[in-house]
Amino acid sequence: MVPTSDIGNLAYAVARVKARKRFLLKREDYLKMLGMEPSAIARFIGESQYAEDVHELGRRFSGADLIEYAIYAHLARTYAEVLGFCRGRMRARVGGYMRRWDVYNIKTAMRGRLYGEDPARLALSFVPAGLLKRECLVAMASAGGVDDIIEALGQTEYHDILAEERNGSDPVRSLARLENALDRQYYAGLAKRSNVRTRADGAFLAFVRREIDIINLRNVLSLKREGVEPQAINEYVLRGGLEVSGQTLASMISADGFDATLAAIERLSFYDEVRPFVAGAKQSLIPLERSLEKYIARSARSFSFVDPLSPLPVIDYILNKKIEVDNIRIIVRGKERGMDESRVRDLLMLR
């Protein structure tokens, strides 16, 4: 039984996110932005809930950089506020889910250091919505290399697993191993914390396992397309998926070539989501991967209705806020690169 105090906070927190959901950008907002230049988009979002962040960062940046830094700053502040009004089991569940931003920030730091990103810009790319303290993020941004980042994480749960996986002989391959180790730890911890006591708990765990399915499918397809040997692919898959696991996962990995792996996914329940993009997968996996991301977003929307007095609507809002930020970034960066408007639109997640 959920304690009475937790029930009270559940109702309060759900009411708060429902109120916030009204301010999410609508389909017509994205379509308007598709017809704007980055400077006009900056003005457009500068008159919305992003105003504070756009105005603050507008003194230092402009164009696409201003928009990207502003929307991520706003995302971090929003997430901190949401976590701040959660209590008890709600806070534990939502906080566990938000640890993905620790993983995101560590990955961002490692990639930034590997490719020589400016420390100040790197710091602005973080979303401080997880459990890592500000001083740890500052240390990672200014670190001289990946080893220094691992050292900066010395007092956290991430240090030991990264130190164990570190292999300096091939920086790019080593980075992939480190990122996979972070994903393994995050999803293993999330599943471990997801004790199934209620229908809502079961729905949440099923959603987490579906996320693992999507990550595994994306990783296996990408590595098979590159001709990586099955034994090596095994190092980059996560355990605990709903469908892309066990014998199904093993058969996809051991399939004789990329085409055989594509054929093996036909028996997955969500195959219809990717069917239109299978034929072009040899040329590019991006449309197929984007269709999987859209599928996960729709799954989140549906599971939020399982129990309206649970953490599920809060996590649904968290996901929708991230989708909003991703959509803005896709539009702005697409404009910057001169992408065709129809192609940019295809990448958006529109409700």
**Domains of the chain as residue ranges with CATH:** 199-306 (1.20.1690)
Helix axes 100-114, 88-98, angle to 10 degrees: 20
> Residue 7 above 70 pLDDT?
no
- The pLDDT, as a whole number, for residue 53 is 94
Higher pLDDT, 298 or 57: 57
DSSP 235: G
Which residues, in sequence order, are CB contacts of 186 under 8 Å at separation 6+? 99, 100, 103
Cα 8 to Cα 151: distance, rounded to the nearest angstrom: 42
Q: Are 238 and 216 in contact (CB under 8 A)?
A: yes
Cα 298 to Cα 30: distance, rounded to the nearest angstrom: 18
Nearest Cα residue to 300 out of 265, 237, 349: 349
Cα 305 to Cα 195: distance, rounded to the nearest angstrom: 19
> Residue 2 above 50 pLDDT?
no
Position 196 confidence tier, pLDDT thresholds 50, 70, 90: confident
Q: Are 54 and 46 in contact (CB under 8 A)?
A: yes
Q: Which residues of 299-331 are buried (b: 16+ CB within 10 A; e: fewer)?
A: bbeebbebbeebbbbbbbbbbbbbbbbbbbebb
Express each pLDDT in 86-136 by its tens digit: 988 788 888 999 999 999 999 999 999 988 999 988 998 899 988 899 999
> Residue 149 above 60 pLDDT?
yes
C-alpha distances (whole Å) from 16 to each of 7, 121, 237 are 14, 33, 37
- The pLDDT, as a whole number, for residue 277 is 93
Position 79 confidence tier, pLDDT thresholds 50, 70, 90: very high
Q: Is the dihedral of CA 234, 236, 240, 241 positive or negative?
A: negative
